[in-house]
């Protein structure tokens, strides 16, 4: 493993979560630990006892009310992610519900998200960075070919497995090109938005690619704009 290789999630002690390791959900998924969490959900590693495979389960974070809109968001995440089939895009399988809590099942990536990898090692060696960029562009292009705009591309939504393979995850804010309501344009993470998205104008394939540029350089429109011009 090189300095830039991700640490398999199985290497560290499992994080505390609302489901203790060993809990069996829906008589099918045995939880082995919490993998991470973002603004919207909590992700757990589990064994699918029916198929004998490891999967990742994403639940709505406990602090978020599981109303109809949350459920619809989960459904939309699955619908959109399922349209994209590419080695650099995390596969999402299905949606389910346990005691009123919706969850989705997806491919388990035994690795680390790019945000925590960068926190841990500072920066990627240049050859690794170029390869990661190439893979991310390939995954994004596959999504764009299907008309799917990710809209929340940032290091925390990119997984790198123990062999350095890259997967784009979290289609929670994704939308179809041309089908994004004006009120939704600025949904996402401001630090990684393109200038036109920040201004509430539009979300296009170009805007998503700009986002990738910000991820890659670790700058953001806000920090660029705030920098004194020289």
Ligand X SMILES: Nc1ncnc2c1ncn2[C@@H]1O[C@H](COP(=O)(O)OP(=O)(O)O)[C@@H](O)[C@H]1O
Establish whether 110 is a catalytic residue: no
> What stretches of 38-119 adopt beta strand conformation (E)?
41-48, 53-60, 92-98, 101-107, 111-113
If one asks whether residue 215 binds ligand X (CB under 6 A), the answer comes out as no
Residue 102 touches which member of Mg ion, ligand X, none, C-beta under 5-8 Å by kind: none
Residue 31 touches which member of Mg ion, ligand X, none, C-beta under 5-8 Å by kind: none
Residue given tokens 């590693």 in the structure block: 45
If one asks whether residue 189 binds Mg ion (CB under 5 A), the answer comes out as no
Residues 133-192 that bind ligand X (CB under 6 A): 156-157, 159, 169-170, 172
CB 81 within 8 A of CB 131: no
Residues 126-165 that bind Mg ion (CB under 5 A): 157
Nearest approach in angstroms of CB 84 to Mg ion is 16
Nearest approach in angstroms of CB 157 to ligand X is 5
Buried b (16+ CB within 10 A) or exposed e, 60-83: beeeeebeeebbebbebbbebbeb
Residues 28-87 that bind ligand X (CB under 6 A): 35-41, 43, 56, 58
CA atoms within a 13 Å half-sphere pointing along the CA-CB vector of 21: 10
Q: Which is nearer to ligand X, 40 or 208 (CB)?
A: 40
Report in angstroms the alpha-carbon separations of 168 from 23, 116, 158, 216.
28, 15, 5, 14
Q: Which member of 31, 80, 89, 106 binds ligand X (CB under 6 A)?
A: 106
Q: Which is nearer to ligand X, 15 or 201 (CB)?
A: 15
Smallest Cα–Cα separation from 84: which of 112, 110, 106, 114?
106
| 126: DSSP letter | H
Alpha helices in the chain, H assignment, sequence order: 68-82, 114-121, 126-145, 195-198, 205-217, 221-226
CB 167 within 8 A of CB 161: yes
If one asks whether residue 88 binds ligand X (CB under 6 A), the answer comes out as no
Nearest approach in angstroms of CB 31 to Mg ion is 20
Nearest approach in angstroms of CB 152 to Mg ion is 6
Catalytic residue among 127, 152, 170, 179: 152
- As annotated, the active-site residues are 152
Binding interface with ligand X (CB under 6 A) = 9, 35-41, 43, 56, 58, 90, 106-109, 113, 156-157, 159, 169-170, 172
């Amino acid at each position: 493993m090189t300095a830039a290789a991700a640490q398999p999630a199985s290497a560290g002690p499992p994080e505390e979560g609302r489901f203790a390791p060993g809990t069996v959900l829906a008589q099918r998924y045995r939880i082995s630990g919490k993998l991470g969490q973002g603004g919207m959900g909590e992700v757990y590693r589990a064994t699918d006892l029916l198929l004998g495979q490891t999967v990742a389960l994403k639940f709505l974070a406990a602090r978020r009310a599981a109303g109809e809109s949350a459920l619809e968001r989960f459904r939309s995440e699955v619908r959109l992610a399922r349209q994209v089939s590419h080695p650099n895009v995390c596969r999402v399988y299905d949606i389910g519900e346990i005691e009123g809590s919706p969850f989705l099942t997806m491919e388990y990536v035994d690795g680390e998200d790019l945000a925590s990898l960068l926190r841990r090692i500072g920066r990627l060696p240049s050859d690794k960075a170029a390869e990661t960029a190439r893979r991310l562009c390939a995954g994004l292009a596959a999504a764009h070919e299907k008309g799917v705009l990710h809209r929340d591309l940032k290091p925390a939504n990119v997984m790198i497995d123990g062999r350095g393979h890259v997967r784009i995850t979290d289609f929670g804010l994704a939308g179809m090109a041309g089908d994004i309501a004006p009120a939704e344009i600025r949904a996402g993470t401001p630090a990684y938005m393109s200038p036109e998205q920040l201004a509430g104008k539009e979300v296009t394939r170009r805007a998503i690619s700009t986002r990738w540029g910000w991820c890659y350089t670790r700058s953001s429109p806000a920090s660029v704009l705030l920098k004194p011009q020289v």
